[in-house]
Chain A
Amino acid sequence: MMNNRHNFTMKTTRKALTDLVGRINALLEPRDLPDRVTYVVNLVLEEILTNIVKYGFDDDHVHDVEVTLILDPDEISIEFEDRGKQFDPLSVSPPPLDESLMDMEPGGRGIHLVRTMANSMTYRRDRDKNILTVSVRHREQ
């Protein structure tokens, strides 16, 4: 069987987040993926993990997030598992697009970017866990 699943346990710190993105990029590099796929995978990792690190937990402790990278022939999926507060990113409404510069709010664009750029996104709450899976296809449909 092809070794196409890679599991990582990330601590909820900025440093660990940057390290993980670096490790996953090193794994992807030899695969010569289209620019779009590498870009979107980076965006998914950064936006989802930053959200978990910043807003996932109410206490100041360092927690673990399980990240699984699944490399299939025609798509890359990333599964995120955390025991933080219940949060379904699919429930967030997209920011309006027709505001003027001065009205535009600086925050809350990450989730919308991921939803728009990735090919699919599924969320479930399993007991005390948030389980989010985001997929990026190699070929745009």
Chain B
Amino acid sequence: MNITLTRTGDAAVIAVQGRVDTLSAPTVEQKLTQWLDEGETRMILDLSELEYISSAGLRTVLVIGKKAKANGGSLCCCALRGMVRKVFDVSGFSLVLPVYNTVDEALAAG
């Protein structure tokens, strides 16, 4: 698992790559919490290179999504592929979080 933040205007584009499972989800949560605490309000998760996510990873996305919203900010996901998209769909995450096809679409959505 690899996680990197790139600033684009007021948005933090965060690329999460590889596997987010029981083992790596706490690291992802810790990183995202740190960025929220540092004042990021508009978080865009770029999942184009996310290969695997389990319920532990979904839990992290949910926890951070709620924290961002409670802070008056937002969290959205974009560029989900194949099975990762399917997991978001069947778990209902695509209904409660904004999901965009590309990073550019997410940025344009303001």
Q: Which residues of A come within 8 Å of B, CB atoms?
A: 14, 17-18, 35-36, 39-40, 42-43, 46-47, 50, 95-102, 104, 106-107, 109-110, 112-113, 116-117
Contact = CB atoms under 8 A, between A and B. Distances in A.
Contacts, number: 68
B59 A101 contact: no
Nearest to A42: B52
A47 B55 contact: yes
Nearest to A18: B23
B54 A110 contact: yes
Contact of B83 (A14, A35, A102, A107): A35
Nearest to B93: A104
Interface residues of B, number: 24
A39 B66 contact: no
A39 B83 contact: yes
A46 B83 contact: no
Given A18-B23, A36-B83, A117-B86, A50 B56 contact: yes
B66 A109 contact: no
A13 B42 CA distance: 37
A101 B56 CA distance: 17
Contact of A113 (B63, B65, B90, B97): B90
